[in-house]
Amino acid sequence: MKLTEKDKEFIEKLKMLIDDRDLKIELREDGLKRFVLRKNYGDKIEKIFGLTRQGIRWRFQRLLGDIYTSAYVTIYWVESLLGTELRTMALEIAKQRVELRKKALGGTGYSESTIVRRRHTR
């Protein structure tokens, strides 16, 4: 699953709020382990994200609970079959792709959705 520009902006705002200690991420263990976003209430948080509290929870769950965790499930499965020897090479490939995307966007950062749009408009 690919990240959108809105996803990228959400993660950047999330990082800022975590760094400022306005939000925090915890691991919840009540049968099934999962990420939980704490302190996600109040007008300040909603205003920064431009979302309701429920919208913040939905995007957080989609990004960290679904996309991020699913990526690690896939990595775990592949490495359980093939070993961890490919990890270093996969990270090199990923870093190169991110750098190429940055160059293609003129150094503005990672944006999968922008690259997809640019490919289709050429």
Q: Answer yes or no: do 115 and 100 share one domain.
A: yes
Report yes or no on whether pTM surpasses 0.85: no
Q: Answer yes or no: do 58 and 103 share one domain.
A: no
Q: Answer yes or no: do 95 and 58 share one domain.
A: no
**Sorting pLDDT into bands at 50, 70 and 90, what band is 108?**
low
**Sorting pLDDT into bands at 50, 70 and 90, what band is 117?**
very low
Q: Where are the alpha helices (DSSP H) in 50-122?
A: 53-60, 69-82, 87-104, 112-121
Q: Answer yes or no: do 8 and 45 share one domain.
A: yes
Q: What is the pLDDT of residues 62-107, one digit of tens each?
A: 999 999 999 999 999 999 999 999 999 999 999 999 899 889 888 6
In the chain, how many domains are there? 2
Q: Answer yes or no: do 88 and 78 share one domain.
A: no
Residue 56's domain comprises 1-83
Q: What is the pLDDT of residues 1-53, one digit of tens each?
A: 678 889 999 999 999 999 999 999 999 999 999 999 998 777 889 999 999 99
